[in-house]
Amino acid sequence: MMGLLPRSLAGRTLAALCVALLLLFLAMAAVHAVLLARTVDKAAEEILARQLSSLMDSVAAAPEWDRDAIAHGLSRSDLEVHWLPANVPDPWGNEHVRWVPLSDRIRDLSRFPTAVRIRPGTIDADQKRILGVAAIADFPDGSHLLVRMSSFNLLTVDTAALYGYAAATALFVLGAAALALRSATAPLTALSTAVQGLSLEEALPAVSDHAPEEVRTLARRLNDMADRVRAALRQRTLALAALSHDVMSPVSRLKLRAAEMPDGDQRQAIQRDLAEIETMVTDVLAFLRGGHESEPVRMLHVASIVQTLVDEFASTGEAVAELRMDDVVIEGRPTALKRAIGNLISNAATHGRAPWIAVENRGSDLAIRVGDNGPGIPASDLPLIMTPFFRGDRARAAGGGSGLGLPIARAIAVAHGGDLTIESPAGQGVVATLLLPKKMRATTSDTESRRFLPRTSVNDACTTPGRGCCSRNRSDGRESTAPRGHASGR
């Protein structure tokens, strides 16, 4: 039953209105039919009464010798009038009077008859007439008048016009209701659409002044809530950014101290650990930036970026196979894209076997596909893989990685108007597809001005001013001369 209920506000209201109007219409039709029947009866009675009484008056007022002639003179094709001087046997049996109100009314109208007997006849509903009405009037002198009416037309009403009018009224009401609903729900729908596509960084677009007060209030409240959420998030972000920053200073010093250590396994292990810390902190900062590097958009030769990354990985001993390398130029932010692609290659090299990469021209888009021949991602992990800080069991066991590589890569792709998808068909490793439009869409530059992490405000959260803390909260935009292990959730 509930399943039949329309889901939308307008649908529900209009459905309720339809049902109500239909019931009203039926009730009106029924009442109308009853009233009409009564009116028709009354009118038929009155007209018959007047017709019969005038016939009786005409005949009874004449002298006795003339009455038969007058009666015959009054007859027409559908009307027989006979004067009978003597008693007549009762033609309709014992029941003398069948239509009491009619005979009463005739006696009111005519002073001659002492009694009137009526045979009601039969109603022909289709033709709206009464067939075979007959009346016998008894006069005081013992004579009688017999009237037979073969057919008597009843009053008719054009019910089609009435029902049509009622239906038109109903439609008009429904239309007006639909319009009113639309003016109420359109701003609501617009609001919910606006909220749906909104990232937390963006303010809610202004609600039209024509919107109902309730909708405007709702929009205001939503904005207030978003403000509170933003403030809470910003607080945490700033704390995280400040911490990440401050960690970089001791890491800097440790790197230099490590360089002073004698060559050996110990030094290399320390340097590896430091590189790992650096990667994690860099990843956190890149993630907090949400893929919006404030670097200018340039025309980029994608294959050269990919080849450069492959060469950099090769120099650290990770061979990545280059498959298709289409010669494609796109608009983009070089450092950000390099980071995104680097993260994907790093994942494939760290978690898979025989990593490969391909650059494919796809009409208005460009696809960069990075794959491997490794164990793949368990199906249960696949939906979680873009979640920040998520790392699969295997990745955790392998150690390293911030769990941010894929979220960063996706954020960068989205900031370019593209997207990142990860597939892992059973037994075929993992394929990451970075889809980027060749022409960057306009929205990305809009959001850039409302970046989540304001450039200037990180100072407030700095814990040790002047020591490694600085007025910047950006992560490094350097062109990494060495690939760092951007590992992510596997």
User: Which CB atom, from 187 or from 485, has the smaller least distance to another protein?
Assistant: 485
Query: Residue 28 or 299: which CB sits closer to another protein?
Result: 299
CB of 407 to another protein, least distance (A): 18
Count H helices, E strands: the chain?
12, 12
- Backbone phi, psi, residue 123, to 5°: -95, 125
CB of 10 to another protein, least distance (A): 49
Going by C-alpha positions, the residue among 197, 481, 469, 446 that lies closest to residue 338 is 481
Which range, of 122-130, 307-315, 342-350, 403-411, touches another protein by CB under 8 A? Answer: 307-315
List for the chain the helix, strand, coil content (%; round to 5): 50, 15, 35
Residues of this chain, 80-99, that bind another protein according to CB under 8 A: none
CA distances from residue 452 to 65, 186, 203 in whole angstroms, order as listed:
119, 30, 12
Q: CB of 418: closest distance to another protein in angstroms? A: 18
CA Rg, the chain, in Å? Answer: 48
* Residues 36 and 44: beta-carbon distance below 8 Å: no
Cβ at position 204, least distance to another protein in Å = 28
Binding to another protein by CB under 8 A, coded x per residue (else -) over 335-374, reads x--x------------------------------------
Residue in 283, 312, 372, 381 binding another protein, rule: CB under 8 A = 312
Given the complex with another protein, which of 66 and 295 has the nearer CB atom?
A: 295
* 315-334 binders of another protein (CB under 8 A): 315-316, 329, 333-334
First-last CA distance in the chain: 47
Structural contact between residues 199 and 447, judged by C-beta atoms closer than 8 angstroms:
yes
157, 171, 314, 384: which one binds another protein (CB under 8 A) = 314
Greatest CA span in the chain, whole angstroms? 160
CB of 326 to another protein, least distance (A): 14
Site residue total, another protein (CB under 8 A): 54
Pick between residue 98 and residue 301 the one whose CB is nearest to another protein.
301
d(CA 432, CA 386): 12
Nearer to another protein, 13 or 459 (CB): 459
Which residue number, 3 or 264, has a Cβ lying nearer to another protein?
Answer: 264
Measuring CA to CA, how many Å separate 273 from each of 239, 250, 256, 356? 24, 13, 14, 27
Neighbours of 400 (CB within 10 A): 17
- Strand, helix or coil at 194? helix
Find the shortest distance in angstroms from Cβ 424 to another protein.
29
Is the Cβ of residue 66 or residue 311 nearer to another protein in the bound state? 311
Spatial separation of the C-alpha atoms in residues 481 and 256, rounded to whole Å:
18
Cβ proximity to another protein: between 218 and 328 the closer is 328
* Mode of pairing for the β-strands spanning 129-138 and 115-119: antiparallel
CB 251 within 8 A of CB 281: yes
Residue 264 Cβ vs another protein, minimum distance, rounded to whole Å: 16
Residue with tokens 């929009």: 219
* 146 vs 251 by CB, closer to another protein: 251
> If residue 153 lies in a helix (H) or strand (E), which one and from where to where?
strand 144-153
Nearer to another protein, 153 or 315 (CB): 315
- For residues 106 and 248, which CB has a smaller minimum distance to another protein in the complex? 248
Q: Which of residues 446-485 bind another protein (CB under 8 A)?
A: 465-468, 470-479, 481-482
Q: How far is the CB of 488 from another protein (least distance, A)?
A: 21
Strands, sheet with 431-437, edge to edge from the N-terminal-most edge strand:
321-325, 356-362, 365-371, 431-437, 419-423
Could you tell me if 187 and 210 are in contact, meaning their C-beta atoms sit under 8 angstroms apart? yes
Alpha helices for 319-452 (secondary structure H): 334-351, 393-398, 405-415, 443-448
Nearer to another protein, 260 or 265 (CB): 260
Nearest to 60, CA basis, from 150, 149, 140, 2: 140
| Span of 184-192, 305-313, 375-383, 426-434 interacting with another protein by CB under 8 A | 305-313
CB of 261 to another protein, least distance (A): 11
Query: Closest CB to another protein among 207 and 404?
Result: 404
x/- binding map, residues 193-232, to another protein, per CB under 8 A?
A: ----------------------------------------
How far apart are CB 359 and another protein at their closest, in Å? 12
**Backbone φ and ψ of 97, nearest 5°:** -120, 125
Residues 95-118: b if buried by 16+ CB within 10 A, e if exposed: eeeebeebbebbbeebebbeebbb
Checking DSSP bridges between strand 115-119 and strand 79-84, what pairing results, if any? unpaired
Of residues 243 through 302, those in contact with another protein by CB under 8 A are: 245, 248-249, 251-257, 259-260, 274, 278, 285, 289, 293-296, 298-301
Shortest Å, Cβ 7 to another protein: 47
Give the nearest distance from C-beta 186 to another protein in angstroms: 42
Binding residues vs another protein (CB under 8 A): 245, 248-249, 251-257, 259-260, 274, 278, 285, 289, 293-296, 298-301, 304-305, 307-308, 311-312, 314-316, 329, 333-335, 338, 465-468, 470-479, 481-482
